[in-house]
Amino acid sequence: MPTGANNKKKYTYVWVSTIILVFGIFAVYEITKRLKEGTIVENDRMSIGSLQTDLAFILTNGQKRRVPEFSFHNQDSLLISNEDFLGKVYVVEFFFTTCPTICPIMTKNLVELQDTFEEYDNFGVASFTINPRYDTPSILKKYTKRYGITDKDWHLMTGDQEDIYKLAQEGFYIIANEDESAPGGFEHSGMFALVDKEGFIRSRTDVNGNPLIYYRGTITEKEGVSDEGEPQQITMLKEDIKKLLLEE
């Protein structure tokens, strides 16, 4: 090949490399600038890495699982139903105020979610007591003050025990039983369920594409892992709540 052609080819490579280098430097500068100024928004952060863009629906017999109809009185003695949560993203738990083990941790994690999403009018929590004979509206009201529950859309609900157990077991497939041998006299799950604005139960999926369904509520972000080596899932839950809040 003639020398002139070789030189021309070499100059072309140099020119292309220079363009790539300039654009690379510019991109790094912009990212660094935005990080320093704090102008990378949450959407930008959440699009980085391996987080999924969509959350799965939970299917039962091929149908999307929706929160069943319910109607109970909350800590202010107001009648609250599933319809009061439509248009909101919310977390569901089953607990009782005299629980000596996992409930205080679950409540603290939910308060953490409350504080994280305090600017959103369409975020809420639905807490159902599994000891309604003791957990009257006035007892639930005292519980809110003890733990700093302030979100107007966080309803701690009480009512007929059979109806609450049916909601837990048949509506959410979550354990809720009276058991004298269990700590505090009741057996229940320490899991949270996540519900979207239309009342469907949602979750991210595992590596095999299966929905996780629930989020572990008994380990704090600060703890990281339990004594049994189970990782906390509150960070994951925060990310997924944000996804549903931004979902049209």
The candidate with the shortest Cα–Cα distance to 88, out of 55, 121, 43, 111, is: 121
Mean pLDDT to the nearest integer, 78-94: 98
Model confidence at 4: pLDDT above 60: no
Would you give the distance in Å from CA 158 to the centre of its chain? Answer: 23
> Given this model, what pLDDT does residue 9 score?
43
The candidate with the shortest Cα–Cα distance to 154, out of 103, 110, 194, 95, is: 110
Q: Give the span between the Cα atoms of 152 and 154, in whole angstroms.
A: 6
The candidate with the shortest Cα–Cα distance to 166, out of 59, 71, 61, is: 71
Q: Which two tokens stand for residue 60?
A: 């039962």
Mean pLDDT to the nearest integer, 178-191: 95
Model confidence at 233: pLDDT above 90: yes
The candidate with the shortest Cα–Cα distance to 88, out of 7, 8, 198, is: 198
Model confidence at 202: pLDDT above 50: yes
User: What confidence category does residue 224 fall into, taking pLDDT thresholds of 50, 70 and 90?
Assistant: very high
Q: Is 109 helix (H, G, I), strand (E, B) or coil?
A: helix
pLDDT tens by residue, 8-23: 444 444 443 443 343 3
Q: Give the span between the Cα atoms of 77 and 124, in whole angstroms.
A: 18
Model confidence at 28: pLDDT above 70: no
Model confidence at 198: pLDDT above 80: yes
Model confidence at 117: pLDDT above 80: yes
Mean pLDDT to the nearest integer, 227-237: 97
Mean pLDDT to the nearest integer, 80-103: 98
> Given this model, what pLDDT does residue 54 score?
85
> Given this model, what pLDDT does residue 40 score?
30
Model confidence at 30: pLDDT above 50: no
> Given this model, what pLDDT does residue 248 score?
82
**CA distance readout (Å), 203 to 26, 168, 207:** 38, 17, 13
What percent of the chain is predicted at pLDDT more than 70?
A: 79
